[in-house]
Amino acid sequence: MGRAKKRFGQHFLTQEDVAKRIVDALPTVSPAESVLEVGPGRGMLTQFLLKNHSTLYFVEADRDMIPLLHERFPLIGSRLIQADFLKLDLHTLPKFHMIGNFPYNISSQILFKVLDNREQVPTMVGMFQKEVAERIVAKSGSRTYGILSVLTQAFYSCEYMFTVEPSAFTPPPKVQSGIIRLIRDDTKQMNRARERFFRRVVKMAFNQRRKMLRNSLKALLEEYAVNDQSLLSMRPEQLTVQQFVDLADYMNANKINVT
């Protein structure tokens, strides 16, 4: 068996019952739809995916795992891609439901890539460090609510599924893991220009999360109007995702003519 490599942030899941629960967390996928596993490693999730789904792709960055996976699962064939998911052009693949035990050190980057390519990814089930998973699903008013929460929930319905203890891995990580499920909400659409401004507002607000919005957004307020002045007396964690969307949309549509 291939050994875990620190540079890939590998912690191999060893408990089959946990692996099955993760795979079962995927929403119902029709035979015509594709599923992509990111980082199959030794194939703990792969064995259950192959039982449940007919159209599968696998992306593995560690080239030493490729022969192991081919030996264990001969039918994978060319559907196993040796590549860094973060560098992969996802449009070379059909639209896919995504699943994976993500390395903690790049899990947020993986999530942002999903958001950037959300037209390709209707659903995702992923393992994150528990603290990150809780931030993604956090609601307004929570101490853990922040940039990841708002940017993800603007496009996906997010659900925390269950916690995985360090003892389920080899080598065991120093933290707990959390499994979350994202289901894209197709009523929430933004063109890229609108999304870029929305992200700018959210990041600027939370970069000074202890300040009221009138202070954290001060640079933007010199150029863009706000219709609801009461919002400016709130701190970013007090705004719901929809309030952030509405605020950014109003500001974007009401640029002040500076002479």
Which amino acid does the sequence have at 57? Y
Q: Give the DSSP letter of residue 99.
A: E
Note whether 180 and 201 are same-domain residues: no
Note whether 222 and 157 are same-domain residues: no
Question: What value, to the nearest 5°, has the Cα angle with vertex 51 and ends 45 and 55?
Answer: 90
CA–CA separation, 73 and 71 (whole Å): 6
CA–CA separation, 96 and 158 (whole Å): 18
Note whether 179 and 204 are same-domain residues: no
Note whether 177 and 247 are same-domain residues: no
CA–CA separation, 114 and 20 (whole Å): 23
Q: Which of 164, 174, 184 lies closest to 45, judged by CA?
A: 164
Note whether 69 and 150 are same-domain residues: yes
H or E element in which residue 147 lies? helix 147-153
Using only C-alpha atoms, the chain has a radius of gyration, in whole angstroms, of: 20
Q: Which of 19, 11, 27 lies closest to 124, judged by CA?
A: 27
Note whether 173 and 243 are same-domain residues: no
* Residue that terminates a domain, selected from 184, 202, 230: 184
* pTM score of the predicted model: 0.92
The answer to whether position 208 is within a domain reads yes
Question: What value, to the nearest 5°, has the Cα angle with vertex 25 and ends 19 and 28?
Answer: 125
The confidence score (pLDDT) of residue 257 equals 66
Note whether 209 and 158 are same-domain residues: no
Q: Report the number of distinct structural domains present in the chain.
A: 2
78: tokens are 């060319």
* Residue that terminates a domain, selected from 168, 184, 200: 184
CB 130 within 8 A of CB 178: yes
* Residue that terminates a domain, selected from 184, 203, 237: 184
Note whether 38 and 87 are same-domain residues: yes
Note whether 69 and 118 are same-domain residues: yes
Which amino acid does the sequence have at 98? M
The answer to whether position 1 is within a domain reads no
Note whether 110 and 171 are same-domain residues: yes
Report, as ranges of residue numbers, the positions in the chain whose pLDDT lies below 70. 1-10, 257-259
The confidence score (pLDDT) of residue 188 equals 86
| Residue 131 domain boundaries | 6-184
The answer to whether position 259 is within a domain reads no
User: Where do we find the tokens 């009138």?
Assistant: 214
Q: Tell me the CATH number at 76.
A: 3.40.50.150
The confidence score (pLDDT) of residue 238 equals 97
The answer to whether position 258 is within a domain reads no
Note whether 147 and 224 are same-domain residues: no
Note whether 27 and 117 are same-domain residues: yes
Q: Which of 213, 222, 218 lies closest to 244, judged by CA?
A: 213
CA–CA separation, 155 and 150 (whole Å): 9
The confidence score (pLDDT) of residue 4 equals 44
Q: Tell me the CATH number at 209.
A: 1.10.8.100
H or E element in which residue 51 lies? helix 46-52
